[in-house]
Amino acid sequence: MAPQANSEIERRIPLEDLLVFHQVARSLTSSLDLDTILRTIIEHMEKFIEAEMWTLLMLDEATHDLYYAIAAGGEEASLRDLRVKVGEGVAGWVVEHGETLIVPEAAADSRLDTTQEGSPRKVRSVIALPLRGRKGTHGAIEIFNPRADQLTDYTIAFLHILADHAAIAIENAHDMARIQQLTITDDATGLFNVRHLYDVLGRELERCGRLRLPVSLAFLDLDRFKLVNDAHGHLVGSELLARIGQRLRELSRKQDECFRYGGDEFVILMPETGADAALALVNSLNRALMAEPFHMKSGLELRVSASVGVATGPGDGATVHAIIGAADSRMYAVKNNGRGSVRGASGD
C-alpha cells in the first residue's frame, strides 16, 4: 500500500476506532504471558472483522516450522498437532517473505490449498499478515473467508497496526521468558539450579501429598572430583561438570528433572516414583554414568564415579528439607563405605 494511501486512512480514523487501537495496545502490553497475548490478538480480530476462521501460527525456532498456537472458528483441537513448513501454504509463504498476503474472493491461488495444513474448510479468500518484529518474523495471522466488503484499505491498515502491536508484545514475552530461564539455570552445566529445585520440589511434594502419590529424589556427589581440578585445572573440571550434566539428562526419564545442587553435587527429581522403582532407576543410571569415559576437548578421557543417596516422600518426610536431608545422609553413608554406589531407605 502506498504511503499516501496510509496517510489518508489515518486522517479518516473515527474516534471509536482510535479507542479500539488504544484498547488493543493496552491489552497486549498488560501481560507478558505468551498464551494470553496470542488469545488477546484473536479476540480483538474477531471483534473487528467478520470471517469464518482465524488462526495464529508461531515459528518454532528449534524446528523452523510453524505450529498453530491459537485458532478461532471451532477448529483449534483439529489443528493443535499440525505443523506447516516455512514457504508452504498461506502462513508459510507469509513467514518466508515477511509480507502480507491478500487473496480476494474466488481468486485462483495455489497457496489457498490448505489440505497440507489440515483445514477441512473450503477456502475462498484469505488475509494473512506476518508477525514481524525487531528480531525477525515470529509467525503469521490468517483470516479465512472474510466478508468480501471488508477487504478494504482501511481494514488492512487496522490489521497491520494490530500485527505490529502483537509482534512487539510477543518479543517482550520471549525476552521475559529468557530472563526467567536464566534465573533458574546453572551457568556451568545448563541444568536447573538449587533455587529452582527448592521451588519445584516444594510444589511436587504438595501435589503428590494431595493426590497420595510418592515422589523420589536422588542426591549425587562425584567421588574425588577435586583430583580432576588438581591434575588438569579448573577449565577441564568445568567442562567435565557440563558434560556430566548433559549425560544425567540423557540417562534420566523424560518426566524427571535434573539440577546442579552446588560444586560437584547433583539432584534428580523423580515425580510419582516409589522407593523401589527409584532405587532401581538410580542404580541403572549410576552404572551407566560410570561405564563410559567423557571425552574432553583437549583429548583427555576422564571417568567419573558417584555416591548416591535416594529418598522418597512421604515416607522420608513431607518437606523439602526433610527429603533432601534424608537423601544427603544416605549419600554420605555411601561415601563412608567405599563410594561409587547407591543407597536408599532399605540401606541397599
Specify if 71 maps to a domain: yes
| 148, 198: one domain | no
More confident residue, 78 or 121: 78
| 260, 120: one domain | no
Q: Write out pLDDT tens, residues 195-237.
A: 999 999 999 999 998 999 999 999 999 999 999 999 999 999 9
Nearest-angstrom CA–CA distance, 201 and 206? 8
In this predicted structure, what is the pLDDT of residue 204?
94
Among 124, 152, 182, which residue terminates a domain? 182
- Of 181-195, 264-278, 309-323, the poorest mean pLDDT is in 181-195
| 216, 112: one domain | no
DSSP SS3 for 16: helix
In this predicted structure, what is the pLDDT of residue 48?
73
Specify if 348 maps to a domain: no
Q: Write out pLDDT tens, residues 283-293.
A: 999 999 999 99
| 178, 210: one domain | no
Among 149, 182, 215, which residue terminates a domain? 182
Number of domains making up the chain: 2
Residue 238's CATH number: 3.30.70.270
Q: How confident is the model at residue 26 (pLDDT cuts 50, 70, 90)?
A: low
Q: What is the pTM of this model?
A: 0.61
The continuous run of DSSP H or E covering 6 comes out as helix 3-11
| 147, 54: one domain | yes
| 145, 280: one domain | no
Structural domain span for residue 330: 194-343
| 247, 136: one domain | no
3-11 average pLDDT score: 49
| 108, 22: one domain | yes
CA angle 252, 178, 186 (to 5 degrees): 45
Q: Write out pLDDT tens, residues 167-196.
A: 888 888 777 777 777 788 888 899 999 999
Cα 260 to Cα 6, 11, 17, 34: the distances in Å are 55, 59, 53, 28
Among 182, 217, 238, which residue terminates a domain? 182
| 123, 199: one domain | no
In this predicted structure, what is the pLDDT of residue 148?
74
Specify if 234 maps to a domain: yes
In this predicted structure, what is the pLDDT of residue 80?
73
